[in-house]
Amino acid sequence: SYELTQPPSVSVSPGQTARITCSGDALPKQYAYWYQQKPGQAPVLVIYKDSERPSGIPERFSGSSSGTTVTLTISGVQAEDEADYYCQSADSSGTYGVFGGGTKLTVL
């Protein structure tokens, strides 16, 4: 079955830039989506269609795509950004969804 691969953890100091990658063979064909999840809460969509930001999401969140890898970038990381981040996409047919394993962002 189709898989998306994320690093288990990323650590940055406040004010620095965090980059979280997600790799998958179908990413050149299918959009990627990014979700932020804090403990005990439902996920929140922070990036859709590779690089679009929903209203209400701070401008420091951005997304990009290159080949089989997509990247979530958080510029000027704040303490409140500490959370788990998941990429999500679909298989090459667009029929079946898949989540990456998640990346725990730690703000030092």
Partner 1 sequence: QVQLVQSGAEVKKPGASVKVSCKASGYTFTSYYMHWVRQAPGQGLEWMGIINPSGGSTSYAQKFQGRVTMTRDTSTSTVYMELSSLRSEDTAVYYCARARDYSSSWGLGYWGQGTLVTVSS
Q: CB-based contacts of 80: which residues, under 8 Å, 6+ apart?
A: none
Rounded CA separation 77/61 (Å):
9
Residues that bind partner 1 (CB under 8 A): 1, 31, 33, 35, 37, 42-45, 48-49, 54, 84, 86, 88-90, 94-102
CB 13 to partner 1: min, Å:
26
Are the beta carbons of 50 and 66 closer than 8 angstroms? no
47/107 with CB nearer partner 1: 47
CB-nearer residue toward partner 1: 12 or 57: 57
Of 74 and 90, nearer to partner 1 (C-beta) is 90
Whether 85 contacts 20, CB under 8 Å: yes
